[in-house]
Amino acid sequence: MESLRFVADSCMSRANGQNCRVSFISTGMTMAALLAAELTLAGAVCARAEDPPEANTNRPAILVLGDSLAAGLGVDPGEAYPALLQKKVDAAGLNFAVINGGVSGDTSAGGLRRINWYLRRKIDVLILELGGNDGLRGVPPGATRTNLQAIIDTAKKTWPDLKIVIAGMRLPPNLGREYTDAFEKIFPALARENRAALVPFLLEGVGGRPELNATDQMHPTAEGHQIVAENVWKILKPLLLPKP
């Protein structure tokens, strides 16, 4: 398994701008070093989720509900993987609009608080990309799984024909084998139980590769986002194609 470094931005609540606290770890850090590495960035502002598009409401919608990876922290909005997915959708001649519901620092609990806001309009596909920050904060895997399941249940109760794509995540090994194993099992288990599509590891081919991450070695560069978008597109595209 590739080693992974990524950020645990700590914006805890709404999708509007607010001060953020950013924590970071690498595979070589102990838990004590992790706690010591927590930085408060004065004046930093969380990425703001896009408004659900009110225009073209007849166009089927793909919602990416995620954290700083979806928000594109460190790159231009047009370089983040949700925007790249829109380009792939358009190039394939498919009539879908991608909604970027990424908020830096968000957790599974935060996503659960936010999901109803997006469900005001019809959502046809939900890409659920949350949980990484839970893992970095040591949230019990059972709590993360419960929150993610509640997001799925809420979305499907509102839009029963909704299709689900779950983005799998991994954690650095220094968080402990027992914890990381339990965390990584969340995503395939949810996919099985909900008959959802699974991206086995969102950052496959990017995590642990310095040249594909920003100078913080935590967030993908524009080139890294291209790989992330392809990881998702391989799973997403078959769900969008008309049934034969």
Determine which one of 76, 90, 181, 216 is catalytic.
216
- Residues forming beta bridges with residue 197, ordered by sequence position: 165
Whether 117 and 54 have beta carbons less than 8 Å apart is answered as: no
Determine which one of 108, 134, 219, 225 is catalytic.
219
CA distances from 142 to 106, 107, 121, 149, 186 (A): 17, 14, 30, 10, 8
Both structure tokens of 51: 């408004």
Determine which one of 10, 23, 68, 108 is catalytic.
68
Q: Which of 241, 205, 201 is nearest to 220 (CA)?
A: 205
Q: Is 68 a catalytic residue?
A: yes
Q: What is the DSSP letter of 3?
A: -
Classified as helix, coil or strand, 186 is helix
> How long, in residues, is the chain?
244
Cα–Cα distance measured from residue 185 to residue 179, given in angstroms and rounded to the nearest whole number? 10
Residues 41-75 as b/e (b if ≥16 CB within 10 A, e otherwise) read eeebebbebbebeeeeeeeebbbbbbbbbbbbbbb
Cα–Cα distance measured from residue 222 to residue 233, given in angstroms and rounded to the nearest whole number? 16
Backbone torsions φ then ψ of 125, nearest 5 degrees: -135, 130
Q: Is 219 a catalytic residue?
A: yes
Which residues are identified as catalytic?
A: 68, 216, 219
